[in-house]
Amino acid sequence: MKSELSLIGKYDVPAPRYTSYPTVPYWESDPTREEWISSIRNRIQPVGSSLALYLHIPFCETLCSFCGCNTSITKNHSVEEPYVESLLTEYSNYLKAVPELGKRELRELHLGGGSPTYLSEKNLESILKPILSALTIAESPEFSIEVDPRRTRLTQLDLLKDFGFKRISLGVQDFDSEVQRLVNRIQPYELTAGITEGARKLGYNSVNFDLIYGLPKQTSKSIEETIQKTLALRPDRIAFYSYAHVPWIKAAQRLFTEEDLPKGAEKRELYEIGREMFINAGYKEIGMDHFALSDDSLYLASVDGTLHRNFMGYTTRTTDLLLGLGVSAISDTWDCFYQNEKILKKYQRRISEDGHALLRGHKLNEEDLRQRALILALSTTGSAALPEEIFEDVKLYLATMEDDNLIEWKGKTLTITEAGKPFLRNVCTGLDLRLRRKSPEAKVFSQSI
Rounded to whole angstroms, the Cα distance separating 356 from 347 reads: 8
Rounded to whole angstroms, the Cα distance separating 399 from 134 reads: 52
Q: Is 146 annotated as a binding residue?
A: yes
Residue 324 near residue 52 (C-beta atoms within 8 A): no
Helix 80-97 vs helix 33-44: crossing angle, to nearest 10: 70
Residue 196 near residue 207 (C-beta atoms within 8 A): yes
Structural element, H or E, at residue 199 = helix 189-202
- Where b means 16+ CB within 10 Å and e means fewer, 98-127 reads bebbeebbbbbbbbbbbbbbbbbeebbbbb
Rounded to whole angstroms, the Cα distance separating 42 from 29 reads: 19
Strand order, beta sheet including 407-410: 383-385, 413-416, 407-410
Q: What DSSP line would sit under 303-343, residue for residue?
A: HHT--EEETTEEES---SEEEEESTT-EEE-SSEEEEE-SS
Q: Which of 301, 359, 363 is nearest to 332 (CA)?
A: 363
Rounded to whole angstroms, the Cα distance separating 83 from 80 reads: 5
Residue 256 near residue 243 (C-beta atoms within 8 A): no
What residue type is 171 in one-letter code? G
Q: Is 399 annotated as a binding residue?
A: no
Q: Is 330 annotated as a binding residue?
A: yes
φ/ψ of residue 284, rounded to 5: -105, 135
Q: Is 428 annotated as a binding residue?
A: no
Q: Is 407 annotated as a binding residue?
A: no
Q: Is 127 annotated as a binding residue?
A: no
Rounded to whole angstroms, the Cα distance separating 424 from 263 reads: 19
Q: Is 305 annotated as a binding residue?
A: no
Q: Is 173 annotated as a binding residue?
A: yes
Q: Is 343 annotated as a binding residue?
A: no
Summary count for the chain: helices (H), strands (E): 16, 19
Binding residues for [4Fe-4S] cluster: 60, 64, 67
Binding site as annotated, residues for S-adenosyl-L-methionine: 54, 66-68, 113, 146, 173, 185, 210, 244, 330
Residue numbers in the known binding site are: 54, 60, 64, 66-68, 113, 146, 173, 185, 210, 244, 330
